[in-house]
Amino acid sequence: MLQLATNDSKVVPLVESSTVKVIGLTMANDGTALKPSILYDEHQKVNVGLKDTASFDFVRKNSNPDPDFLRQNVVTDADITYISTIDNNISLPVAVTYKPKSGKTGEDIKSQFLYEVCIVQTCLRCLQQATSMRHILHKDSVSNCNSSCSECTEQGKLCDACKNENHLSHIPSIRACNRCIENGVQCKRGAVLVITADCEQGNKTAFELLISDREAGILESKYIFAVLPDAVHVGKSLKASFANWPILLDTQRSCLPLVHTVRDAHAELKRILPRDSVTHKDRMDINCILHLTKSSVLTFLESVHGIVHTIIPDKYKISASNKVGLYPHPIAITAANLGTLYVIDHNPKTSSSRLLEIRQHVPAEVKIVGEYSDARSLAYIEGTVYICEHNKTISVYPKNTGKLNMKNLKKGELIEEARKRDIPTNGTVADLKNRLTNYLQSLEKTYKERRIKMDTVDIADYLPSCISKAAAQMLLVSSDIERILSTVDINSDGVIMKGVVNHIANYPTYVREVTCMALHENQAYMVHNGNPGGLVTLDMATGVAVRKLTNGTGECTLCSSVSGYGETVIFCDSGINQVKEIIGPSVRVVAGTGQIGNDNGPCDKASFSQLFSLCTEMKNIFVCDAQTGCVEVITDMKGSVRFLTHLKLLYQAFGVHFKHQNVERANLEEAKDLVRRLSDYLHETVRSVQVILDTDRQLNWPDGTISSKTLKSVDMIHSELSYLQSQITSINSSIPINMLSCLTVCVENLHALGHFKCQLPTMLEHARNLSNTVYEGIKRSVLWAAYYFTHPSSYYPIPENDMPLSSLSAMEHLKPKALLSKDQEREMREWAQGLRKVCSTKISTTANDNVQHWHITT
């Protein structure tokens, strides 16, 4: 590698003088999974598959190794390290590290990176004179290549003695080594400016440790590299957040299945966006992200203003709790905390209902959390779901909501609870808890004697027909039997929820039965069945009722549900299966063609079969279709488009593009600015959700944001690009940098090439195939001549090269470590075969042993 880079090649040196020539390098590291297995190597006469090879003596001493030994020693991963010139003209693999699962801690990986950088930064002359051990170059072999000066390091500048020796810098990695100075030859070496690896936790922890050591001033001065989480992997992580969770972007639910729905509805989008790009099946394919972020795709998605998408049953990912037919009649829905919905699934034949808890995921996760008698409406207030069993009672979920939990109460809080119940407040915490416990047990016994259920709201003889949220700890309740509208103040007495009924107004004479209610700007909106039915508004202050909409008119055929929607109100027109919005005196259609169907897609092309209920979550509308058993979301595509537009910036910064596509390369300053714009946008989306939740805690996918770890990776890329820029500016600001050299793509390609021969190799198979894989990879990535013996005009011209492919040095076969008899070889095979069966089941991810050595190819 150094010989190629320092010869008459196109590589521009980082520093060059009569005494030293330094090539700027990047180091990329990535791993691939190995099959945990121990095999006998016929050539070396050892068992291969452990962290250290097992000789015959080792097998004799460890005839029956325990599971802990296997967890700490069986190899499950092969990490390959590539080095590339900073201009990406030359790249070659230089190291492979075989690790057990216990070797992936941050400290282990940090040590590995420093070990490898130390060897890679050895000068060419010292490397050529170093002695390898069984094709492995160890740190001890190059320890005599020393270029540091303690006086220069302490001062941070060149001392007089080093100036006289024509050194160019006080930084050891860009100085001539002492041996080359003594022999009067130019010192040719590489300086690692960047280390990049994927953003799995072990690598990221190692990066954080290296940054911490650098900022604390305890990292050796010869290490001048920046650490970059691989931008391709970070882009995949961002796409995974977008694909697996409906995240909140500009208060709109946005996810990859929405794009899938738009694609299915438009033939034009199908032509420019392959189906594989929206299915999220191949998580390693970067082309999916490149297709999703194409300008033509983004322009088309921007023209789609509203979209209807089914979340239950999921059409693209079927799961055990989310498939067709499980919940046939959803008739009521409410939004709970961000990311959770509650739905009533009603059985009209038995007049029974089930309460469904829906976690917004892809696919949505559904749990049946309760069963009730003829429940038709529900409301969510501060962690509690209130379920109205028609003309009977109001139940609560979770069931123990009304019980006082004294476990974490402090003394002052216990005294306050005792005062509420006229209980003596003197004594210790234990005394207070005992008195409260005795009081509550007595109260619970009384309720049981009166046959009052513990999971209901005690509202005496009031018979509710429909409920809705009015305020914190207050329900809006209608009673068709008593024909009155009331509010119910709800509080816990330590055992059950108690409700105090406050009469607001009587039903208007034309209102017969209230089926749905919503409170919006101090106006109670009531959907009713009358003669005719429709929508009525009732002023909560005066009790005056006004007809808002009448069924059978052009504005409203048959109103079935109503909800507040920002500053306006929306309702379901079940007569023609449309969702409509009331804006002042006018009504506009939000979604639905007016035809009976079950088609997803843009709002003006979507259709429903029997719209029954709806609710809102900021700018998102959730509807229940009782005939098809669907729960659907109506949202906008602006958030998705903005997210994909900013995701595109990351790949633009590092020059990631389609194969054979010519793109304009971003320089380091431009790349840093592009990543900064992405980072600012992601922080903006997280802050907006923190404002909604009124919290400053760290957020993740279930909260409606991207992963906090991915956000840290983006921030690390931005900060480390700034550090890299400052380092290069101080050394040689004119050095050309190709951002592609800061990716792990070359390592990924090598792994992919190896998988053609064996998808999941063992350690022995991987080691045997590696040299051929590297050789084949070089053939695929460089220009080379091919001769077809047909006619001279069919010859391909021989391309210019710095080094012919045939001159690559080949490794000789290793000699056996020991001579074994046939009986001894049979014993070795039997030992390996006996352990092979338990390797796949006994290896745990919780072990914490260290990797003892690394394999560096000469």
**Crossing angle of helices 708-732 and 231-244, rounded to 10°:** 160
Buried b (16+ CB within 10 A) or exposed e, 687-720: ebbbeeeeeeeebbbebbbbbeebbbbbbbbbbb
Same domain flag for 208 and 258 = no
Would 346 be classed as within a structural domain? yes
d(CA 597, CA 111): 62
Report the pLDDT averaged over residues 100-106: 85
Report the pLDDT averaged over residues 237-241: 92
d(CA 500, CA 519): 19
pLDDT at position 805 over 90: no
Encoding tokens for residue 423?
């209980």
Length of the chain: 858
Give the chain's mean pLDDT: 89
Higher pLDDT, 666 or 831: 666
Per-residue model confidence (pLDDT) at position 78: 93
Same domain flag for 666 and 754 = no
Comparing CA positions, the residue from 397, 355, 399 lying closest to residue 373 is 355
Would 511 be classed as within a structural domain? yes
Report the pLDDT averaged over residues 494-520: 94
Same domain flag for 469 and 506 = yes
What band does 857 get if pLDDT is binned at 50, 70 and 90? very low
H helices within 253-344, ranges in order?
Answer: 256-265, 267-272, 276-279, 287-292, 295-302
Encoding tokens for residue 485?
């509208």
Residues with Cβ < 8 Å from 94, sequence gap 6 or more? Answer: 1, 81, 82, 83, 116, 120, 856, 857
- In this structure, are strands 393-397 and 352-359 parallel, antiparallel, or unpaired? unpaired
Q: Are the beta carbons of 691 and 705 closer than 8 angstroms?
A: no
Q: Taking the alpha carbons of 843, 844, 845, 848 in that order, is the dihedral positive or negative?
A: negative
Q: Which of 602, 635, 668 is the last residue of a domain?
A: 635
Instruction: Please state the domain count of the chain.
Output: 3
> Dihedral, CA atoms, 91, 659, 293, 296, nearest 10 degrees?
150
Q: Are the beta carbons of 284 and 32 closer than 8 angstroms?
A: no
| Cα separation values, 133 from 49, 126, 545, 858, Å | 19, 15, 93, 10
Would 452 be classed as within a structural domain? no
524-568 residue pLDDT tens: 999 999 788 999 999 999 999 999 999 999 999 999 999 999 999
- Strands (DSSP E) contained in 313-453 are 330-335, 340-347, 352-359, 365-373, 375-381, 384-389, 393-397
Comparing CA positions, the residue from 308, 283, 493, 323 lying closest to residue 402 is 493
What band does 196 get if pLDDT is binned at 50, 70 and 90? very high
Report the CATH number at residue 327: 2.120.10
d(CA 549, CA 531): 13
Same domain flag for 158 and 79 = yes
Q: Which of 618, 635, 652 is the last residue of a domain?
A: 635
Same domain flag for 538 and 585 = yes
Report the pLDDT averaged over residues 621-629: 96
Comparing CA positions, the residue from 565, 371, 564, 374 lying closest to residue 466 is 374
What band does 144 get if pLDDT is binned at 50, 70 and 90? confident
Encoding tokens for residue 645?
């537009």
Same domain flag for 244 and 313 = no
- Specify the DSSP element, H or E, that contains 650: helix 638-653
Q: How would DSSP label each residue in 206-267?
A: HHHHHHHHHHHT-S-TT---EEEE-HHHHHHHHHHHHHHS-EEETTEEE-HHHHHHHHHH-H
Q: Backbone phi, then psi, for 155, in 5-degree steps?
A: -80, -25
Same domain flag for 509 and 623 = yes
Higher pLDDT, 492 or 849: 492
842-854 residue pLDDT tens: 554 333 333 333 3
Encoding tokens for residue 672?
């840093």
d(CA 369, CA 344): 10
Encoding tokens for residue 344?
């009533």
d(CA 319, CA 95): 43
577-586 residue pLDDT tens: 999 999 989 9
Same domain flag for 122 and 78 = yes
Report the pLDDT averaged over residues 25-44: 91
Q: Which of 654, 670, 691 is the last residue of a domain?
A: 691
Comparing CA positions, the residue from 377, 339, 342, 341 lying closest to residue 361 is 339
812-841 residue pLDDT tens: 777 777 788 888 888 888 888 877 666 655
Same domain flag for 327 and 265 = no
Same domain flag for 237 and 206 = no
3-state SS class at 78: strand
160-188 residue pLDDT tens: 888 888 888 889 999 999 899 999 999 99
pLDDT at position 297 over 80: yes
245-267 residue pLDDT tens: 999 999 999 999 999 999 999 99
H helices within 276-428, ranges in order?
Answer: 276-279, 287-292, 295-302, 411-420
d(CA 345, CA 332): 8
Would 454 be classed as within a structural domain? no
d(CA 617, CA 565): 8
d(CA 569, CA 519): 10
Would 723 be classed as within a structural domain? no
3-state SS, one letter per residue, for 149-218: CHHHHHHCCCCHHHHHCCCCCCCHHHCCCHHHHHHCCCEEEEEEEEEEECCCHHHHHHHHHHHHHHHHCC
Range of the domain at 321: 309-383+464-491+501-635
Neighbours of 425 (CB within 10 A): 15
Encoding tokens for residue 328?
């046939």
d(CA 686, CA 707): 10
Same domain flag for 644 and 631 = no
What band does 400 get if pLDDT is binned at 50, 70 and 90? confident
DSSP type of residue 482? T
Neighbours of 744 (CB within 10 A): 24
Neighbours of 505 (CB within 10 A): 16
Report the pLDDT averaged over residues 759-771: 91
| Cα separation values, 315 from 289, 301, 341, 831, Å | 22, 20, 19, 51
Comparing CA positions, the residue from 413, 469, 362, 416 lying closest to residue 701 is 362
Per-residue model confidence (pLDDT) at position 345: 97
440-488 residue pLDDT tens: 999 999 999 988 888 999 998 899 999 999 999 999 999 999 999 999 9
Would 429 be classed as within a structural domain? no
Same domain flag for 605 and 650 = no
Comparing CA positions, the residue from 492, 526, 494 lying closest to residue 511 is 526
340-357 residue pLDDT tens: 999 999 999 999 999 999
pLDDT at position 142 over 70: yes
pLDDT at position 41 over 50: yes
Per-residue model confidence (pLDDT) at position 800: 65
Would 708 be classed as within a structural domain? no
Would 264 be classed as within a structural domain? yes
